[in-house]
Structure 1
Amino acid sequence: MFAIKAGAQSPAFTIADSLYQLGNYVEAINAYAKEGNEKSSLQIARAYTAIGNNEKAIAQYLDIIDKNPNQVLAKFELGKLHAKTKKWEKAQLVFENLTVAGTENPEFYYYLGSALQKKGDSKNGNEALKKAVELDSTHLRSIYLLGKFYVGAELPSMAHEILDLGLRSAPSDPALINLKALTYFNNGNFVEAITLFERLLEMGEFQPFIFKKLGYAYFKNWEFDKAKKNYRSLEQIPNFEADAYFGLGEVYLMEKQLDSSKIFFKKSIEERRYVFDEEYKNLGRIARLQNRLKESLDYYTKAWEENKADFFSYYQVCIMADEYYKDPETKLRNYQKFLDDFDRAPSFLRQRVKKRVSELKEEMHFAKK
């Protein structure tokens, strides 16, 4: 009978709980405050979190922990709140404390690993995430973060290994399927990537990046009609028209339909709100194939002006100016500028330029005689 009484809630606490469940958090806080015990303090912290008053929630959690350093639940919720508010250093400290305590809880290691990754400490973050997976091989959030890191770090074998582990327990998880598709895509395995991206579409994941990746994968796989289909789907999504037009421009260029390709590259330029160096380079290439040397020169010049660190664009400026102009001094100035401005360009390219500079100087020398 004593045990039953000890575990029973007071009528006031029951009323406070009802208010909390109904979302009347302010009234619930006032009701819990009348109880003055640890359980009601925990509920007050949760209510403050629910209404978005994170500072008061954190203060409440800290007060609970100060009075009872063994209150693991308060620490856990405090750590998650620090993570939610992107206070990664504080989140790390809380979850380090929880993991040092010897509690073999994969959630603690997941949040610790996530906080460390956010701070830029990938090495220790990944170790914590691996520990979470070691404790629970179905811990998908830890698997996802590890997979995402391996994909970004271009470690395909490690990415496939961890993602396959996750897919064994959750074979239809779209986030894991997407990461595995990206692993194949980034490694140039377009056939495998296509299969997985198509599966995502079948699952209803009509995301713009899927259409974009599929369009490019089909393009690289020489399946031009399917590439166009996906770029046309991408075209229907607001703010992605430029990417769609650029992709279509590439496909038509590969098919040698130069006029159509030119139209789409120009449409891509019209839609974009930033640099157009790739579009201008492709337009320059088209003009050159059509033997429109001055037009090609102008487009490559625009590409270089959009991105003056691009040595390839300026090299094309040199080549087209060399073909278009008759004056060797004009040609020489361009090549010399290349050597002066792009000392980190590939050595084979610099050697070509140096050779042409020597030829032009020799030509000018003999012309004076």
Structure 2
Amino acid sequence: MKTMFRILFLLSVAKVGAQSSTLAVSDSLYADGNYALAINEYAKEGSYSAQLQIARAYNAMGNYDKALVQYDNIVQKNSSHVLAKYELGKLYLKLKKYGAARLVFSELAEKNNLNPEYFYYLGEALKELNLFPEGIAAYKKSVKLDSTHLRSIFQLGKYYVMQRERDSVLKYVNKGLNFYENDVSLINLKALANYNDNLIWLALPYFERLVELGEHKEYIFEEMGYSYFAMAKYEKAKEAYENLLTFDEENPVALFGIGSAYSKLQQLDSAKIYIKKSIEVQKVVLDKEYNALARLAVEQNDLELAIKYYERAFIEDPSGYLYKYEVCLLTDQHYKKPEKSLKCYEEYLNKFGGKKDYFSEFTSKRIVELKEEIHMDTP
């Protein structure tokens, strides 16, 4: 009898050893990112850990449908597997299945109302479902449980920035900055909260801090430029607008800002250059619209009106050689006046003759024909 027990004990030890060996191989494959082979190895195991790792591997591979099935199977078999349920909820959020995510995190928060992560992710699901009051309540619960929960603090700050409730923004953002003073997201919210309330002298140091921390973004330089200018710091305003111009060299706000700063600095020639350029880049070009109207006029056999529209299109876009060509062609057809047509074709050839395309060839031939017509009609 003792011998039998000993044999059974040795077999159980051997089995545990084999399982440990299999898990070690599987975990090594998973750690190396070899997810397909890791799944095959984990499948040889029936343990909860192995099943959870299979779900994680599918998730890491981007095979989200299989990951969902795997997570769901684990949760259905044993609802006490909280970690699997938690990861399932986050996967629902990733896949924009917000209703399902809401149910998962509501259940988790109900069973453990001391975990700030559950309330944060519940807030995320509620926010995406446009249930803002409930979402804000969830974020607040998260911060109440953990005053340093930066993601919840950021969401609360962002919400109150949009609501233009500066005091509420500062209440939460300052709490986060006390914990991590270089959090650029929170610094940005504090800058915007002050800026939106026209407290530019309070906002400016935070915009400057963002730049120091490497946040080189268009809106930051635009708002810095405006703030410096309003505070009569014209040289700094010019620098901010010059930085803004690096994103788009035809940005009319930046060009006008630089011009205005030069004006205040009594550099009037430079001011005129930038302000004129600001006007130029804002000019609305309507050539396509006039071209469309011209085509409609041709279809209605109103050639005189079509000519006028093509002329307007050419004024809008002087490089549009087809507009000028259409003006000449329709003038030729409609007015039947060789001198008028000849002048138009010669203007076309002088400007666009170098293209040496079909239109230039036709224009050259037509000029010869018109000159012959005029010569024949000359007494």
TM-score normalised according to structure 1 size:
0.68
Matches within 5 A, 1:145-224: 145-224=155-234
Q: 2-side partners of 1:224 and 1:86: how far apart? A: 47
Q: Which letter maps to 2:186?
A: L
Q: 1:267 offset after TM fit, Å?
A: 4.6
Q: Which letter maps to 1:266?
A: I
- Which of 111, 120, 137 matches 2:147? 137
- Call closer, same or farther: CA 1:26–1:202 in 2, change over 3 Å: same
- Which of 258, 263, 266 matches 2:276? 263
| Aligned 8 A contact 1:235 1:244 in 2 | yes
- Which of 82, 87, 105 matches 1:95? 105
1:245 aligns with: 255
Q: Which letter maps to 2:132?
A: S
- Call closer, same or farther: CA 1:54–1:207 in 2, change over 3 Å: same
- Call closer, same or farther: CA 1:268–1:246 in 2, change over 3 Å: farther
Secondary structure, aligned partner of 1:73: helix
Q: 1-side partners of 2:31 and 2:172: how far apart? A: 39
| Aligned 8 A contact 2:75 2:84 in 1 | yes
Q: Which letter maps to 1:147?
A: G
Q: 1:15 offset after TM fit, Å?
A: 0.6
2:353 aligns with: none
- Call closer, same or farther: CA 1:35–1:7 in 2, change over 3 Å: closer
Q: 2-side partners of 1:240 and 1:205: how far apart? A: 22
| 2:42 matches 1:32 | yes
Secondary structure, aligned partner of 1:10: helix
Identity %: 42
Q: 1-side partners of 2:92 and 2:158: how far apart? A: 22
Secondary structure, aligned partner of 2:282: helix
- Call closer, same or farther: CA 1:255–1:152 in 2, change over 3 Å: farther
Q: 1-side partners of 2:175 and 2:242: how far apart? A: 35
| Aligned 8 A contact 2:52 2:74 in 1 | yes
What does the per-residue CA deviation read over 1:16-59, in whole Å, with 9 as the maximum and x for residues that have no partner?
A: 11000000001111111111222111101100111111111111
Q: 1:80 offset after TM fit, Å?
A: 0.8
Q: 1-side partners of 2:190 and 2:257: how far apart? A: 23
Q: 1:221 offset after TM fit, Å?
A: 2.1
2:130 aligns with: 120
- Which of 83, 108, 132 matches 1:73? 83
Q: 2-side partners of 1:219 and 1:122: how far apart? A: 37
2:240 aligns with: 230
Secondary structure, aligned partner of 1:171: coil
- Unmatched 5+ stretches in structure 2: 1-8, 286-379
What does the per-residue CA deviation read over 1:128-161, in whole Å, with 9 as the maximum and x for residues that have no partner?
A: 0000000000000000000000001101010011
| Aligned 8 A contact 2:250 2:278 in 1 | no
| Aligned 8 A contact 2:260 2:275 in 1 | no
- Which of 30, 55, 60 matches 1:20? 30
| Aligned 8 A contact 1:242 1:271 in 2 | no
Q: 1-side partners of 2:254 and 2:70: how far apart? A: 51
1:293 aligns with: none
Q: 1-side partners of 2:54 and 2:250: how far apart? A: 45
Q: 2-side partners of 1:122 and 1:186: how far apart? A: 22
Structure with bigger gyration radius = 2
Q: Which letter maps to 1:194?
A: L
Q: 2-side partners of 1:136 and 1:199: how far apart? A: 27
Q: 2-side partners of 1:7 and 1:219: how far apart? A: 74
- Call closer, same or farther: CA 1:252–1:260 in 2, change over 3 Å: farther
Q: Which letter maps to 1:265?
A: S
Which shows bigger deviation, 19-28 or 262-271? 262-271
- Unmatched 5+ stretches in structure 1: 273-369
1:340 aligns with: none
Secondary structure, aligned partner of 1:79: helix
- Call closer, same or farther: CA 1:81–1:242 in 2, change over 3 Å: farther
| 2:76 matches 1:63 | no
1:362 aligns with: none
Q: 2-side partners of 1:235 and 1:249: how far apart? A: 12
Q: 1-side partners of 2:186 and 2:250: how far apart? A: 24
Moved over 4 A (4+): 4-9, 249-258
2:289 aligns with: none
Q: 2-side partners of 1:45 and 1:214: how far apart? A: 48
- Call closer, same or farther: CA 1:111–1:262 in 2, change over 3 Å: same
